[in-house]
Amino acid sequence: MTSQHLKNSVVSIHSRIREYPEVFRNDSGIMFCIYCDKSIDWKHKSTIDSHVNSIKHESNKRKYEAKQQVSHQQTLQTTLRAADSKKL
């Protein structure tokens, strides 16, 4: 019997990362949370889910996204300043 071919038992770091797009990265076989910069055991879905649902992860995610926005805004500011000077 090929029980190891059941969907749930065939799990790799790649399939895990695909399950949570843009949350984790593969660093030489170790799964890292992009937001927390923390290694997570990818073998157990429960470990990942409890990390993803943790308050710490949520706040790190918000910080990360805010940082992304700041660098985006800095490029926008030049354009906005030009628009402001037109108004004045």
Q: Considering the rule CB under 5 A, would residue 16 count as an interface residue with Zn ion?
A: no
Residues in 44-73 that interact with Zn ion by CB under 5 A: 57
Q: Considering the rule CB under 5 A, would residue 31 count as an interface residue with Zn ion?
A: no
Nearer to Zn ion, 44 or 81 (CB): 44
Give me 7's structure tokens.
């969907």
Q: Which of 24, 33, 42, 48 binds Zn ion (CB under 5 A)?
A: 33
Q: Which of 24, 31, 36, 48 binds Zn ion (CB under 5 A)?
A: 36
Amino acid at 43: K
Q: Considering the rule CB under 5 A, would residue 35 count as an interface residue with Zn ion?
A: yes
How many residues bind to Zn ion according to rule CB under 5 A? 4
Using CB atoms within 10 Å of the CB of residue 24, give its burial: 0 to 12 exposed, 13 to 18 middle, 19+ buried: buried
Beta strands per DSSP E along the chain:
24-27, 30-33, 38-40
Where on the chain is the footprint of Zn ion (CB under 5 A)? 33, 35-36, 57
